[in-house]
């Protein structure tokens, strides 16, 4: 029997397995794909203070540092320019491959290209090849499907409007590599937003995300947005579709010997759909807590729930705000426009305030991990 079994090998799952193994627990990671999705199924964006956990320079990961965001709401453009911080567009595929290598080097048994067929509580994972593996602690990092959580009776059902539907293309054209562009609501992304994240001057991730339940031709909307952002001069290298949770996070992230992390726990931000930072944090924390509990260093898994509670409450408030402003178009545009205008005004009057806030959140996450483990480990 393994001390820790992790289901799902993306950011949350890989970091959970690495942290568990680094503490000394025996760990196995089960991932249905033989290698990470290529192209990565996300926008590949982090604030630089958040990206520090990944040691991008040290591991040789390509990245683009950006300090300017242009936001369009109802054809009114706002410019937000960072003073001291930077937004990082990075190669997520590269990072995930490195994470899996680091996991294996740390002693994690990798089972790639293998699907979890069933779970028999409390310990048995049944794989699609009929093999059975057992774990003292099970970490569910299976994404929005929440494969283990569903089987232990957690409420994993999501209404169509609580699922963010995304489509993104890797586009070749000419871009300003120092500007991120986003367009809220119509004509491209009703009650959502479209984005342009440049990887460099020649390649950008261009996509859109909207609440589910709308009858939309996403491919047509994306093509229109790409055409307008490139003046019709572009080449599409690849395209993907994906779903992310756009719901309040689960109230309970523990059930018996099961911990829920990342998108499986609905830890993506309801407004932006961004979930990388919370995936890294929740995965790392789950791995640390699971390992220490299985090794007898702590007497309960509850520190995971207690530590995540602040994030759960914050994401819940964000979800309530999203619901409040999404009742109709006028309310959406008025409230979202006011929110963006207020943020831009605060940033203009107090240019360091928001950037210090970003730094504070990231530093707090690192200190929390350090409090459970001698040093935070993601990639070396």
Confirm whether 379 is domain-assigned: no
Domain that holds residue 34: 2-160+246-372
Confirm whether 173 is domain-assigned: yes
SS3 per residue for 289-329: HHHHHHCCCCCCCHHHHHHHHHHHHHHHHHHHHHHHHCCCH
Domain boundary, last residue among 243, 275, 290? 243
Model pLDDT, residue 377: 45
Confirm whether 378 is domain-assigned: no
Higher per-residue confidence, 363 vs 121: 121
Domain boundary, last residue among 243, 260, 281? 243
User: What's the domain count of the chain?
Assistant: 2
Model pLDDT, residue 98: 95
Whether 316 has a pLDDT exceeding 90, the answer reads yes
Q: Alpha-carbon distance 341 to 110, whole Å?
A: 48
Q: Is residue 8 classed exposed, middle or buried when 0-12, 13-18 and 19+ CB atoms within 10 A define those classes? A: buried
Higher per-residue confidence, 256 vs 357: 256
- Note the pLDDT tens digit of each residue in 334-348: 888 888 888 888 888
Confirm whether 266 is domain-assigned: yes
Whether 315 has a pLDDT exceeding 90, the answer reads yes
- Note the pLDDT tens digit of each residue in 251-304: 999 999 999 999 999 999 988 888 999 999 999 999 999 999 999 999 999 999
Residue 182's φ and ψ, nearest 5 degrees, are: -140, 145
Domain boundary, last residue among 208, 227, 243? 243
**CA-wise closest residue to 169 among 104, 75, 235, 230:** 235
Same domain, 22 and 150: yes
Q: Is the pTM of this model over 0.85?
A: yes
| Percent of the chain residues topping a pLDDT of 70 | 98
Q: Return mean pLDDT, the chain.
A: 92
Mean pLDDT confidence for 368-377 = 70
């Amino acid at each position: 029997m393994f001390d820790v079994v992790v289901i799902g090998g993306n950011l949350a799952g890989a970091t959970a397995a690495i942290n568990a193994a680094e503490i000394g627990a025996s760990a196995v990671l089960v991932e249905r794909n033989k290698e990470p999705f290529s192209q990565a199924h996300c926008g590949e964006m982090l604030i630089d203070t958040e990206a520090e956990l990944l040691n991008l320079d040290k591991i040789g990961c390509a990245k683009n540092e950006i300090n300017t965001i242009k936001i369009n709401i109802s054809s009114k453009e706002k410019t937000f320019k960072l003073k001291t911080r930077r937004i990082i567009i990075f190669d997520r595929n590269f990072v995930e491959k490195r994470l899996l290598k680091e996991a294996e080097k740390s002693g994690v048994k990798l089972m790639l290209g293998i699907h979890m067929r069933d779970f028999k509580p409390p310990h048995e994972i049944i794989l699609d090849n009929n093999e059975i593996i057992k774990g003292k602690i099970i970490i569910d990092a299976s994404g929005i499907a929440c494969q283990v959580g569903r089987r232990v009776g957690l409420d994993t059902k999501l209404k169509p409007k609580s699922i963010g539907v995304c489509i993104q293309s890797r586009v070749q054209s000419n871009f300003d590599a120092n500007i991120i562009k986003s367009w809220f609501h119509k004509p491209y992304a009703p009650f959502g937003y479209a984005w342009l994240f440049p990887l460099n001057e020649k390649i950008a991730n261009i996509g859109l995300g909207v609440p589910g339940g709308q009858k939309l031709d996403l491919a047509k909307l994306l093509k229109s947005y790409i055409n307008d952002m490139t003046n019709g001069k572009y080449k599409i290298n690849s395209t993907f579709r994906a779903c992310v949770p756009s719901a309040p996070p689960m109230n309970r992230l523990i059930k018996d010997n099961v911990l829920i992390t990342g998108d499986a726990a609905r830890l993506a931000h309801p407004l932006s759909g961004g979930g990388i930072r919370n995936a890294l944090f929740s995965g790392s924390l789950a791995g640390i807590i699971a390992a220490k509990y299985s090794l007898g260093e702590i007497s309960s898994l509850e520190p995971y729930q207690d530590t995540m509670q602040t994030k759960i409450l914050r994401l819940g408030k964000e979800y309530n705000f999203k619901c409040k402003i999404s009742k109709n178009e006028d309310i959406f545009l008025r409230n979202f426009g006011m929110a963006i205008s207020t943020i831009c005004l605060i940033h203009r009057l107090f240019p360091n305030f928001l950037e210090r806030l970003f730094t504070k959140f990231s530093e707090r996450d690192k200190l929390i991990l350090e409090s459970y483990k001698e040093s935070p480990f993601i990639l070396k």
